Structure 1
């Protein structure tokens, strides 16, 4: 990629509606599916921070060599926000970002309320 055509990466931000509320309170389940997704797409985890709230909702940030994945859940509303960003340093990862997001939507069996794609 030359400097004129270089795009730092695709950043997807979604809000999802989820019928199965137990997945919105199961941070361990999210971490497990994330490990599966990282392996499937050959992404390298640098670290992970998990915070479970008193109502069992959770916030998780996964720092990747390629960038990050973040989630925040609101079981009382049946919703979550999910943020997936992968850098394009050595290759265009745009399709991989979309596939990762699709895998999470499938995991939560969710309906997409808001879906933003930002070309960085």
Structure 2
């Protein structure tokens, strides 16, 4: 039995975003996420998108390696982002951190909360 195995890093952030259009344009988030998947060689197995009446959105991208999820609150200039990559062959912890930083740059956001869970 392997006892030192760790499936991966799960990063959860809450971000403040000044440009409201970034928080209401789900298609642009999806396009950017597609570029992230290509850049980091991640495999999408499904996606669920919901746009709310106030133009906020929630998106869950199911990956072979786990998931990327976002929920936006334009009325509060905030979003929550959840990135988890697991892999039994390699440690993806640095990749998770880099992906979250890429999203922070995309949203030109400041960090409100930043949690890292090693699973």
Partner of 2:68: 69
**Aligned-residue offset at 1:88:** 2.6
**Aligned-residue offset at 1:8:** 1.1
Partner of 2:103: 104
Q: C-alpha distance in 2, partners of 1:47/1:108?
A: 23
Query: Which residues of structure 2 form unaligned runs of 5+?
Result: none
Q: C-alpha distance in 2, partners of 1:45/1:88?
A: 15
- Root-mean-square deviation (Å): 0.9
Deviations 1:39-82 (A, max 9, x none): 00000000100000000000000000000000000000000000
Partner of 1:42: 41
Partner of 2:55: 56
Partner of 1:93: 92
Task: State TM-score, norm by structure 1.
Answer: 0.97
Q: Number of residues paired by the alignment?
A: 119
Q: C-alpha distance in 2, partners of 1:7/1:62?
A: 22
Task: State TM-score, norm by structure 2.
Answer: 0.98
**Aligned-residue offset at 1:86:** 0.3
Q: Secondary structure at the match of 1:19?
A: coil
**Aligned-residue offset at 1:3:** 1.7
Q: C-alpha distance in 2, partners of 1:60/1:88?
A: 22
Q: C-alpha distance in 2, partners of 1:27/1:109?
A: 16
**Aligned-residue offset at 1:11:** 0.1
Q: C-alpha distance in 1, partners of 2:32/2:72?
A: 15
